[in-house]
Amino acid sequence: MKFSCQGLELADAVLKTVKAAAVRTTNPILECVKMVAEDDKLTLTCTDLELTITKVIRADVRVPGVAVIPAKFFADFASKISSETIEFNLRDKTLDVTYGDNNAYFQCQDASEFPEPKTLDQPEYVEVRSDNFKELVTKASVAVAQDDSRPMLRGILLEVTNGELRGVALDGVRMALIKKPTISQSAEFGLVVSARCLIEIVRLLPDSDQPIKICTQKNHLQITLGDSILMTRLMGMQSDYVSYRQILPKDFTTTINVNRRHILDTIERAGLLSRVDRNFVVKFDINGKDMVISSESELGNITEHLQTTHAGADLKIEFNGRLYTDALRVITDEFVQIRYGSAVHPCVIVPQEGEEYLYLVLPMHKI
Amino acid sequence: MKFSCQGLELADAVLKTVKAAAVRTTNPILECVKMVAEDDKLTLTCTDLELTITKVIRADVRVPGVAVIPAKFFADFASKISSETIEFNLRDKTLDVTYGDNNAYFQCQDASEFPEPKTLDQPEYVEVRSDNFKELVTKASVAVAQDDSRPMLRGILLEVTNGELRGVALDGVRMALIKKPTISQSAEFGLVVSARCLIEIVRLLPDSDQPIKICTQKNHLQITLGDSILMTRLMGMQSDYVSYRQILPKDFTTTINVNRRHILDTIERAGLLSRVDRNFVVKFDINGKDMVISSESELGNITEHLQTTHAGADLKIEFNGRLYTDALRVITDEFVQIRYGSAVHPCVIVPQEGEEYLYLVLPMHKI
């Protein structure tokens, strides 16, 4: 193997692929990056078997070949090189790197031991905007379960149907349902993917309207953006997940429209007090046109009055304030609508217009 | 106690004083902020007995008085209030807070239990520029000992003499000596202050040429900037510290001038390899006009050539690369001068002109 490439392009690519490399594992090959040089391209791949990232950059390849070296170390090294051109030359098990007047020699691992990523041939896929997919994952992930009691709830359900991509997460006391339009669609699917991997994946996607391709095959989800391929194992199919449609409440008795920032700040202040008792209980008293939010603990108590537009019956209800603030922090709308059933039924936070997102929150039950 | 003050001023002041409040202590009063309202001023004080921070803001005081409430909670609360004016009213042991249409009531602690900070009457003091003092602490702190084997070396020696403030730190394999001019000076002293407290203190000082007053009395160091008072216990006097003047080497056989950024990058790259073996050994080969920096480990090896201006004898010497990079990272000069004695004598890193700083580094001894 003999090739040269641009220092900045290499540093950028290796810093992105290294995110999928394993950290502190008993299998050191999973801590490595695989470099494949052929056809004027250098392909970099890292995998911890759960998440696989592949990135391709331009290279001037004189002798094609494969080398496997420690990924974290190589990422640190590449990001500290300011040289324009870096030359690589593989001799036996040593990779010779020349940059400017300088030389480095790295010991290579056995390339045949590197787990071969299963590249999918993408027969059927869904295209969505990169920024829309990022937003969907970010907004859904606040409702993902944080404990391992039901492992499937550590995932996000991705459902493609009727020109729409849906992301669903729930943890027993709340649910998030986010909808984004697809650009084109030759497949319909419903599958569950680890939220941790999806969050890692969307960090690598650009915040632009560039389209990404999503496809699934052989127990994997594959996301393609230009020359980058991001792949992760499925946790299960839609049938393994909770039937979320049955949970959606249909009847509401009280509806308010409220400035998102104002209600978020108010619940956060009230939460400061209830945090002390670790129960985060925040009381809502919806009464006429006024909404009174209060909380108390051994430290003292807080009572705040919030301007809302209000329709329907008066209502007194108690919530875990965190379930509200988690959702209200990732929403970007200036105003939101909150619909309540009764003091023991779930409420939903939705946009004032459209139905791009829905957060369902269960109230605290009085004993 | 009854007063009102501006929300933003209060939030800023309480966020700064809370840095001195204790975290997780067996004495809850140390986790509190003491508020004293009198003479159109509100004085906020926090202390963990080691570091004390006092800040004064304007207030419209109708009834003077004292209240003590949990500091971290109050800082979070104040920073989340957007109201312009906040009203405080102490009734019995309850502090009533009114902001806009909203109310909060906080339970107060017993004010008599709050440890009274010993305010010093500042008979003799030294004035230095705030930015100079910040720089002195930042640049000296890289050489402070990280382990507790000799507690005094966890401090920085502050020495005032002849219109100059000196900061000295050393840990057995390196030393930092930083010098800054004083603006005015009515005292001379040499004392040792906890580096942790000094680093916390300089975070609160502005990066401007505003003068700060430094004085010492009754086992404390006090720093005054406008209405803020920062106070910390002394670890000892100059006589308790190492006689650093005796360590300074006087004879050098080899001197190089080198671009700071270039040598830093080179040693960092070389350090990536030697980091694997946890010894951080980096070899310097100063030879003619060329300086060759190299390192090796089981991962491979690196050899880099560095342009320098060189005077004196050729030299081969080995260092712990970290001792170099720690110093070179906080220096801001474009070029530095490095002076070597022999392969077993310490080297010093100094400016090309002047003597504002001196970093001494011991070489690795070959067995």
Residue A318 has a pLDDT of 94
Give residues with Cβ within 8 angstroms of B100, minimum separation 6.
B83
Judge: B104–A303 Cβ closer than 8 Å, yes or no: yes
Kindly report the nearest CA distance between residue A303 and chain B, in angstroms.
5
B63 interfacial to chain A (CB closer than 8 Å): no
pLDDT by residue (tens digit) across B165-201? Answer: 999 999 999 999 999 999 998 888 999 999 999 999 9
- B264's CB contacts (< 8 A; 6+ apart) are B324, B325, B328, B329
A262: closest CA of chain B, how far (Å): 10
Contact A103 B299 (CB under 8 A): no
Kindly list the distances between the CA atom of residue B167 and the CA atoms of A275, B156, B212, B360, in Å, as whole numbers in the listed order: 43, 6, 16, 14
B261 lies within 8 A of chain A by CB: no
Farthest CA pair distance, chain B: 81
d(CA B276, CA B268): 13
Task: Identify whether the C-beta of residue B260 lies closer than 8 Å to the C-beta of residue B333.
Answer: yes
Could you report the per-residue pLDDT of A194-242, keeping only the tens digit for each? Answer: 999 999 999 999 999 999 999 988 789 999 998 889 999 999 999 999 9
User: Cα A170 to chain center, whole Å?
Assistant: 14
Predicted local distance difference test score (pLDDT) of residue A278: 72
Inter-chain residue contact B301 with A94, CB threshold 8 Å: no
Q: Tell me the two tokens of residue A44.
A: 């970099």
Residues of chain B with CATH 3.10.150.10: 2-113, 126-246, 254-361
Mean local confidence (pLDDT), A84-105:
93
Residue B278, chain A, CB below 8 Å: the answer is no
CB contact under 8 Å between A73 and B276, yes or no, is yes
Determine the pLDDT at residue A261: 94
How close B97 gets to chain A, by Cα (Å)? 9
Contacts of B12 (CB under 8 A, 6+ apart): none
Which H helix or E strand runs over B105?
strand B102-107
Strand, helix or coil for residue A335: strand
ipTM: 0.80
Chain segment B283-333, per-residue pLDDT in tens: 999 987 789 999 998 889 999 999 899 899 999 999 999 999 999 999 999
Chain B residues within 8 A of A298 when measuring between CB atoms: 107
- B299 contacts A70? CB cut-off 8 A: yes
pLDDT for residue B367: 46
| pLDDT tens sequence across A43-81 | 999 999 999 999 999 999 999 999 999 999 999 999 988
Using CB atoms, which residue from B103, B299, B305 is nearest to A106?
B299
pLDDT of residue B290: 83
Q: What is the pTM of this model?
A: 0.85
Taking an 8 Å cut-off on Cβ atoms, the answer to whether B102 and A265 are in contact is no
| Sign (positive or negative) of CA dihedral A310, A316, A320, A321 | positive
Tell me the chain B residues in contact with residue A276 when contact means C-beta distances shorter than 8 Å.
73
Residue of A nearest to B76 (CA): A272
As a whole number of angstroms, the distance between CA B61 and CA B230 comes to 24
* Record: fold of A254-361: DNA Polymerase III; Chain A, domain 2 (3.10.150)
Answer whether A265 touches B (CB < 8 Å): yes
- Enter the tokens of residue A256: 């308010």
Q: Which CATH class is domain B2-113?
A: alpha beta
Which H or E run includes B265? helix B260-274
pLDDT in tens, B193-240: 999 999 999 999 999 999 999 998 878 999 999 888 999 999 999 999
Res. A367 pLDDT band, cuts 50 70 90: very low
How many C-beta atoms lie closer than 10 Å to residue A111's C-beta? 18
| Cβ-proximal residues to B346 (8 Å cutoff; 6+ apart), any chain | B247, B249, B360, B361, B362, B363
Chain centre to alpha carbon of residue A306? 33
Contact between chains at A298 and B107 (C-beta distance less than 8 A): yes
Chain B hits for A304, CB-CB cut-off 8 Å, are 101-103
- Please tell me the distance in Å from A90's CA to the nearest CA on chain B: 13
Question: Cβ of B303: how many Cβ atoms within 10 Å?
Answer: 17
CA distance A114 to chain B (A): 18
| Tens-digit pLDDT profile for residues B58-117 | 999 999 999 999 999 999 999 988 778 999 999 999 999 999 889 999 999 999 999 977
Residues of A (281-300) whose Cβ lies below 8 Å from B: 298-300
Spatial CA neighbour of A15 closest among A60, A72, A98, A88: A72
Sheet hosting strand B281-287, strand order edge to edge:
A60-63, A2-6, A85-91, A94-99, A102-107, B300-307, B290-297, B281-287, B315-320
- Contact of A318 with A284, CB cutoff 8 Å: yes
Render pLDDT for B142-160 as a digit per residue (tens, 0 to 9).
999 999 899 999 999 999 9
**Closest-CA distance of chain B to residue A296, Å:** 9
Indicate yes or no: CB of B301 within 8 angstroms of CB of A276. no
**How far from B99 is each of A203, B105, B332, CA to CA, in Å?**
40, 12, 46
CATH topology of domain A126-246: DNA Polymerase III; Chain A, domain 2 (3.10.150)
pLDDT of A343: 87
Kindly list the distances between the CA atom of residue B240 and the CA atoms of B31, B106, B188, in Å, as whole numbers in the listed order: 32, 46, 17
Distance, in Å, from the CA atom of A204 to the CA atom of A133, rounded to the nearest integer, reads 12
Q: How confident is the model at residue B362 (pLDDT cuts 50, 70, 90)?
A: very high
Kind and range of the H or E run holding B38: strand B32-38
Average pLDDT over residues A301-308: 92
The shortest CB-CB distance from B303 to any of A103, A300, A305 is to A103
Residue A366 binned pLDDT confidence (cut-offs 50, 70, 90): low
Residues near A156 by Cβ (< 8 Å), separated by ≥ 6? A137, A140, A141, A144, A167, A168, A169, A192, A193, A195, A198
Contacts of B186 (CB under 8 A, 6+ apart): B124, B125, B126
Looking at chain B, the number of H-run helices and the number of E-run strands are 6, 27
